[in-house]
Chain A
Amino acid sequence: MTIEATYVPSPLDDTLPRNPVLRALRIGWSWLRRYPVIPFAVLVLMIVCAVFAEQLSPHDPLRGNLRAAFTPPIFMDGGTWEYPLGTDHQGRDILSRAIHGARVSTIISTAVILAGGIGGTVIGLVAGYRGGWVDQIAMRAVDFTLAMPFLLVALVVVVVFGQSLELIIVLLILFGWDNFARVVRAETLTLRESDYVSYARIQGASQARILFRHILPGVVGSVLVIGSLRVGSLILTESTLSFLGVGVPPDTPAWGIMTADGRQHLSRAWWISTMPGIAIFLVVMGFNFLGDWLRDWFDPRLRQLRVH
């Protein structure tokens, strides 16, 4: 039997705009959606900055030169190549601080996504497969986590224990597993009833083997999608906490803290607050695109997921 290739008119053919400029934009857009060039570039740039922060930064991110305080960025009058993005009120190089900020954000989001993703996936798998009281407890825990106002809880915890990187990571993990657990459980419920899982069970495969060899591969796609969509909101949350002064400790070069530093000097040196915000924006948008792309790649049914 041969399968003949027939031309199926794509719905896109009709919806392409007549206006040539719009048409080019639309085609460029769909090309960017098909191949996530920009998100990958942002992702790679961020990881390179995080890993090689010391080698890449032209200056020490923590030590300033007061004589060079408030140097504007290179494209303005008075800017120098010495400080391409300018300096802050203490004469610290903003580029070096932004590069180190990528490290802080990468450490936090990697730790939280790994722990929350693995924990949530295991809970979802077990809850969906075992059902009964295990499932009940797991889903109640998910409901509780969803209903808790994260920021408020974080404020009390930080005021009692003080600021630290580890504390923020633990807090974000505690509030970051529920999404994974919910989706994985729902998919496990379906996969559990499928024929190939029944065969595995009849053949005498152990429960762990069924879960991790037979069901897990079926849910990995969704886990990746949720994970990449979570990274953006995690970076936003972390920078918000740092901005409010309850995130990482105040002398850390983190993007949220840098933005807060520049608030008092807005009319004199707008670049102090502006530059780290642009970094956050690029990274978060990159991850949002990556998540959208992964979602379309793995499963268009997940389309409703991204609402932050």
Chain B
Amino acid sequence: MWRIIVNRLAFGVAIVLLITIVVFGLSRAAGDPRNIYLDEYATPEAWDAWGERMGLDKPLYVQYGVWLWDTLRGDFGESLYYDVPSIRLVRERVPNTLQLGGVAFGVAILIGVPLGVVSAVQRGSIVDYAVRGFALLGQSVPVFWIGIMMILVFSATLGWLPSSRNEGWNHFIMPAIALGWLPAAGLMRITRGAMLNILDSEYIKLARAKGVTAGKIVWVHGFRNAIIPPLTVAALIFAAFLTGTVVVETVFAWPGVGRLAVQSIKNNDFPVLSAIVILFSSFYIILNLIVDLLYALFDPRIRLD
């Protein structure tokens, strides 16, 4: 177990370092990095001072060291558009993103897993087809389009739900569904497949023969073993969330980190964007790390390998 933990941790650190190298490389690939770190109002003194501090006259690996040290302390440079430290802009928006992500995660699990079980138990029924159609739709329709269509129907036409910002519980409904649909579809398919396999196994037949009630067979004997396969797709689900957050926040004008990323592209605000990319990627990698370890914890075949 310890070897796995150390292994995965080392891998996580390596990935984060690789991402910092990519971001650093890109900041230097565009010529003088001052063109993207300082705006056109920078005085010549500030220009020289920045070059001095970042060691622009020194070799690249020294520059990378200076830059990485700043980055590790949370200094990503000043936003060119808002003239405040980038990290502060990001920090202000993190709560909104986490709230939306949390609610959407709940939606995905509460819809995806039970529907997957029901669909497997009632295989071939109308419910099964409806659930699979729902999943197929979620995997074939772009997230941004789902969001826009919901706004069109429920805000613009019916006027039932607000289409933007975060000002109360009803502002969460549409963004959370838009964000949770694709992960719910993935979870549903995996849970359904796992349940189908398990319901077909010998020990379930034995439980049936012993006269265990149907509900207990499904939810106690079957479901407990059907939990592990969804964990294997957790990484893909996090990836869907990562992309989805950026898209959904843009569609619903949600004041979160994803929308800030898209805005900073429009504003050519490299410091803010680099802060978001590095922090978001690290968060994503930590989540994946936790899932890997949970997976090892649950499955003795991996733990003891």
Residues in chain A near residue B268, CB distance under 8 A: 159
Report the interface size for chain B: residues with CB under 8 A from the other chain: 63
Q: Which of B126, B148, B189, B274 has the most CB of A within 10 A?
A: B148
Is A239 among interface residues, defined by CB-CB distance under 8 A?
A: yes
Could you tell me if B189 and A277 are in contact, using CB atoms closer than 8 angstroms? no
Report the interface size for chain A: residues with CB under 8 A from the other chain: 52
Q: A258 CA to B238 CA in the complex, in Å?
A: 28
Could you tell me if A288 and B285 are in contact, using CB atoms closer than 8 angstroms? no
Is A76 among interface residues, defined by CB-CB distance under 8 A?
A: no
Could you tell me if A155 and B265 are in contact, using CB atoms closer than 8 angstroms? yes
Q: Nearest-CB distance from B128 to chain A (Å)?
A: 10
Is A22 among interface residues, defined by CB-CB distance under 8 A?
A: yes
Residues in chain B near residue A149, CB distance under 8 A: 239, 242, 280-281, 284
Could you tell me if B142 and A243 are in contact, using CB atoms closer than 8 angstroms? yes
Q: Which of B23, B29, B277 has the most CB of A within 10 A?
A: B277
Question: When A152-B281, A155-B277, A270-B152 are in contact, do A160 and B145 touch as well, CB less than 8 Å?
Answer: no
Could you tell me if A288 and B136 are in contact, using CB atoms closer than 8 angstroms? yes
Could you tell me if A244 and B15 are in contact, using CB atoms closer than 8 angstroms? no
Interface residues of B in 269-286 (CB under 8 A from A): 270, 273-274, 276-277, 280-281, 284-285
Could you tell me if B285 and A147 are in contact, using CB atoms closer than 8 angstroms? yes
Is B294 among interface residues, defined by CB-CB distance under 8 A?
A: no
Q: A25 CA to B284 CA in the complex, in Å?
A: 42
Is A263 among interface residues, defined by CB-CB distance under 8 A?
A: yes
Tell me if B's interface is mostly helix, strand, loop or mixed.
Answer: helix
Is A248 among interface residues, defined by CB-CB distance under 8 A?
A: no
Q: Which of A17, A26, A156, A161 has the most CB of B within 10 A?
A: A156
Q: A25 CA to B130 CA in the complex, in Å?
A: 13
Is A24 among interface residues, defined by CB-CB distance under 8 A?
A: no
Q: Which of A157, A270, A273 contacts B145 (CB 8 A)?
A: A273
Further pairs besides A22-B126, A308-B186: 9, Cβ < 8 Å: A17-B124, A26-B124, A155-B261, A157-B26, A159-B273, A160-B26, A263-B251, A277-B141, A288-B139
Q: Which residues of B contact A (CB under 8 A)?
A: 11, 14-15, 18-19, 22-23, 26-27, 29-30, 36, 123-126, 129, 136, 139-145, 148-149, 151-152, 156-157, 182, 186, 189-190, 193, 233, 235-236, 239-240, 242-243, 246-247, 250-251, 261-262, 264-266, 268, 270, 273-274, 276-277, 280-281, 284-285, 288
Q: Which residues of A contact B (CB under 8 A)?
A: 15-17, 22, 25-26, 143-144, 146-153, 155-161, 232, 236, 239-240, 243-246, 256, 259-260, 262-263, 266-267, 270, 273-274, 277, 280-281, 284-285, 288, 303-304, 306-308
